[in-house]
């Protein structure tokens, strides 16, 4: 008799778990709001009214994590009828222009996370490389420029219009900064960026840029200036400070 009772109880528990009492009623989302929260809910593939035991949480997690702007995603049941989705978002650190004024925002891992119809995206630094592929793809060629941006002293940010990378004929990327006033700072490779930025700062602090078209800081403590219009004659300046 005891066995029969146990089986009956187990069967009753299963039936209860399949009843409307344990259907999915609510999807709670933490880390996204408005339209982005709607994207998360859609990407999860979860449908209100589905029995809680039938929910494929692994598939839901994969769907949310596939959103280009989502860095991590976690999906969990909260009985009796709720699923909690927690996302952390990727943060834009640079802008890759297309050429018509629009472009793509990338994060610190060079993942393309969003498109923008304007280059004025929170005053993000601009890398002159155009984006390739789709949202969610890693913009591999832009990765070195992100290191250049990360090393940039904040007080120099207003001076820098774009960050350029030259791969032509070299095994390593060569950097340059397009500064306000049509002045270019030649940074060279990625070695000793702190000293090179200090060289740029020294020139900006001490030299009248009128007539100057290029600041070469490949040797960071010995900036070389070139004058307009043809940048033909290098002028080495001894700077203090």
68: domain CATH number is 3.10.20.310
193-206 vs 143-151: helix crossing angle, rounded to 10: 60
The reply to whether 82 falls in a domain is yes
The reply to whether 143 falls in a domain is no
Whether residues 101 and 127 share a domain: the answer is: yes
Q: What is the pLDDT along the chain (241 residues), one digit of tens a residue?
A: 444 444 444 444 444 455 566 899 999 999 999 999 999 999 999 999 999 999 999 999 999 999 999 999 999 999 999 999 999 999 999 999 997 889 999 999 999 999 998 766 668 999 999 899 999 999 999 999 999 999 999 999 999 999 999 886 667 889 999 999 899 999 999 999 999 999 999 999 999 988 999 999 999 889 999 997 656 555 555 444 4
The reply to whether 147 falls in a domain is no
Say how far apart CA 75 and CA 15 lie, in whole Å: 25
Whether residues 83 and 101 share a domain: the answer is: no
Chosen domain end from 89, 104, 130: 89
Predicted local confidence at residue 230, as pLDDT: 57
DSSP sequence for 119-160: S-STT--BB-SPP-S-TT-B-GGGHHHHHHHHHS-GGGGGGE
Domains contained in the chain, number = 3
Give Cβ neighbours of residue 57 (< 8 Å, ≥ 6 apart).
75, 76, 77, 83
Its domain, for residue 203, covers 152-241
Whether residues 121 and 166 share a domain: the answer is: no
Say how far apart CA 175 and CA 164 lie, in whole Å: 6
Whether residues 79 and 98 share a domain: the answer is: no
Whether residues 106 and 162 share a domain: the answer is: no
The reply to whether 233 falls in a domain is yes
63, two tokens: 């769907």
Whether residues 188 and 229 share a domain: the answer is: yes
Whether residues 192 and 178 share a domain: the answer is: yes
Q: What is the pTM of this model?
A: 0.81
Whether residues 34 and 119 share a domain: the answer is: no
Predicted local confidence at residue 99, as pLDDT: 79
The reply to whether 176 falls in a domain is yes
The reply to whether 66 falls in a domain is yes
């Amino acid at each position: 008799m005891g066995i029969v009772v146990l089986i009956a109880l187990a069967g009753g528990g299963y039936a209860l778990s399949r009843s409307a009492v344990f259907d999915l009623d609510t999807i709670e989302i933490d880390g996204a709001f408005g339209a982005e929260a709607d994207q998360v809910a859609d990407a999860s593939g979860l449908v209100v009214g589905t029995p809680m035991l039938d929910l494929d949480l692994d598939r839901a997690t994969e769907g949310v994590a596939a959103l280009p702007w989502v860095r991590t995603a976690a999906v969990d049941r909260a009985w009796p009828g709720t699923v909690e989705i927690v996302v952390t978002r990727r943060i834009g650190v640079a802008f890759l222009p297309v050429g018509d004024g629009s472009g793509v925002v990338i994060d610190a891992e060079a993942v393309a996370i969003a498109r923008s119809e304007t280059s004025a995206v929170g005053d993000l630094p601009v890398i002159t490389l155009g984006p390739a592929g789709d949202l969610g793809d890693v913009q591999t060629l832009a990765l070195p420029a992100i290191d250049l941006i990360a090393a940039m002293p904040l007080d120099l940010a207003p001076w820098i219009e774009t960050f350029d990378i030259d791969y032509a004929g070299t095994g390593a990327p060569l950097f340059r900064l397009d500064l306000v006033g049509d002045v270019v700072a030649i940074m060279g490779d990625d070695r000793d960026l702190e000293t090179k930025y200090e060289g740029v700062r020294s020139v900006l602090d001490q030299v009248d840029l009128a007539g100057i078209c290029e600041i070469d800081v490949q040797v960071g403590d010995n900036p070389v200036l070139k004058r307009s219009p043809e940048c033909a004659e290098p002028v080495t300046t001894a700077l203090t400070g």
